[in-house]
């Protein structure tokens, strides 16, 4: 699954990598410990404005929700469910986005506690998580734009640490995924699948990651781990 991730790229790198324009002026500082409920950059394609980068809240709020805090865990959407679940039907058809990431964390439970692992692409490039977004407006006029990250089965390499992983798109699939005119839901469903094992690597990191208040590049340094295992 994917309940915590890293985006260390700056805005210029995001613009360059996705050929997208930041919408408005938003502050963006790299986040080494992004948790559900925080604002993070997403890339989406508008009929008129074209491809934009915007900051949305992690944790999809359905447009029909009465309150922002629904109490549900919409920070992940199962790939197996996006076409059928009420909450994701419309987003899957017309509100797909890319969630840029440098890597993500998964925890392994051991007698010594929950040990975080940091997973990246071998080439250290940006990961393009497949995401869905939603636009919510409250009675008082408050507006919340939010997103969820699609998860799928783990590939063979990650299976030992976790049975789910985020759906990561190949570069050549991004255009298809973002195109709002693309209604080929069967073809789109085929894009959200386990990423090739050979292009993934991971290592243990400090349990400092566990507390979402902790931040900084030191979180993704390999943990020497002299005492466990």
Partner DNA sequence: CCAGACGTTGTT
Partner DNA sequence: GTCTGG
Give me 84's structure tokens: 């059928």
Q: Are strands 50-58 and 21-22 parallel, antiparallel or unpaired?
A: parallel
Q: Does 35 participate in binding DNA (rule CB under 7 A)?
A: yes
Residues 220 and 6 sit within 8 Å (Cβ to Cβ) = yes
Q: Which of 16, 49, 97, 106 is catalytic?
A: 106
Indicate the residue among 201 and 207 with the shorter CB distance to DNA.
Answer: 207
Indicate the residue among 52 and 208 with the shorter CB distance to DNA.
Answer: 208
CB of 11 to DNA, least distance (A): 22
Give me 61's structure tokens: 């709020």
Taking CB under 7 A as the criterion, the residue among 15, 36, 182, 204 binding DNA is 36
**Is 2 one of the catalytic residues?**
yes
Query: Among residue numbers 110 through 169, which ones bind DNA (CB under 7 A)?
Result: 114, 151, 162-164
Indicate the residue among 22 and 62 with the shorter CB distance to DNA.
Answer: 62
Sign of the Cα torsion 100, 169, 94, 1 reads: negative
Alpha-carbon gap, residue 83 to 214, rounded angstroms = 36
Alpha-carbon gap, residue 148 to 106, rounded angstroms = 17
Q: Which residues pair with 7 in a beta bridge?
A: 31
Q: Which of 2, 97, 134, 173 is catalytic?
A: 2
Chain centre to alpha carbon of residue 126: 12
Number of Cβ within 10 Å of residue 73's Cβ equals 11
Taking CB under 7 A as the criterion, the residue among 31, 45, 76, 102 binding DNA is 76
Residues 148 and 37 sit within 8 Å (Cβ to Cβ) = no
Q: Does 71 participate in binding DNA (rule CB under 7 A)?
A: yes
Q: Does 31 participate in binding DNA (rule CB under 7 A)?
A: no
Q: Does 89 participate in binding DNA (rule CB under 7 A)?
A: yes
Taking CB under 7 A as the criterion, the residue among 74, 126, 169, 188 binding DNA is 74
**Is 106 one of the catalytic residues?**
yes
Give me 206's structure tokens: 């400090």
Q: Does 69 participate in binding DNA (rule CB under 7 A)?
A: yes
- Residues 6 or more apart in contact with residue 16 via CB below 8 angstroms: none
CB of 181 to DNA, least distance (A): 19
Q: Which residues in this chain contact DNA in the complex, by CB under 7 A?
A: 1, 3-4, 35-38, 62-64, 69, 71-78, 81-82, 84-90, 107, 109, 114, 151, 162-164, 207, 210-213
Q: Annotated active-site positions, please?
A: 2, 106
């Amino acid at each position: 699954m994917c309940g915590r991730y890293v985006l260390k790229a700056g805005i210029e790198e995001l613009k360059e990598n996705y050929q997208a324009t930041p919408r408005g002026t938003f502050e963006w500082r790299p986040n080494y410990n992004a948790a559900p409920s925080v604002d993070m950059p997403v890339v989406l394609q508008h009929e008129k404005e074209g491809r934009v980068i915007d900051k949305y809240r992690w944790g999809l709020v359905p447009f029909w929700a009465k309150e922002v805090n629904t109490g549900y865990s919409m920070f992940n959407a199962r790939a197996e469910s996006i076409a059928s679940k009420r909450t994701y039907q419309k987003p899957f058809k017309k509100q797909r986005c890319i969630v840029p990431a440098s890597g993500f964390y998964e925890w392994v439970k051991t007698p010594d506690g929950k040990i975080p692992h940091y997973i990246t692409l071998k080439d250290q490039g940006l990961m393009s998580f497949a995401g869905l977004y939603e636009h919510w407006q409250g009675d008082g006029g408050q507006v919340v734009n939010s997103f969820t990250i699609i998860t799928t089965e783990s590939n063979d390499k990650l299976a030992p640490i976790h049975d789910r992983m985020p759906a990561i798109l190949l570069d050549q699939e991004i255009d298809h995924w973002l195109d709002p005119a693309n209604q080929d839901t069967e073809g789109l469903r085929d894009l959200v699948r386990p990423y090739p094992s050979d292009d993934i690597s991971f290592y243990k990191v400090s349990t400092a990651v566990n507390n979402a208040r902790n931040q900084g590049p030191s979180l993704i340094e390999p943990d020497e781990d002299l005492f466990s295992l």
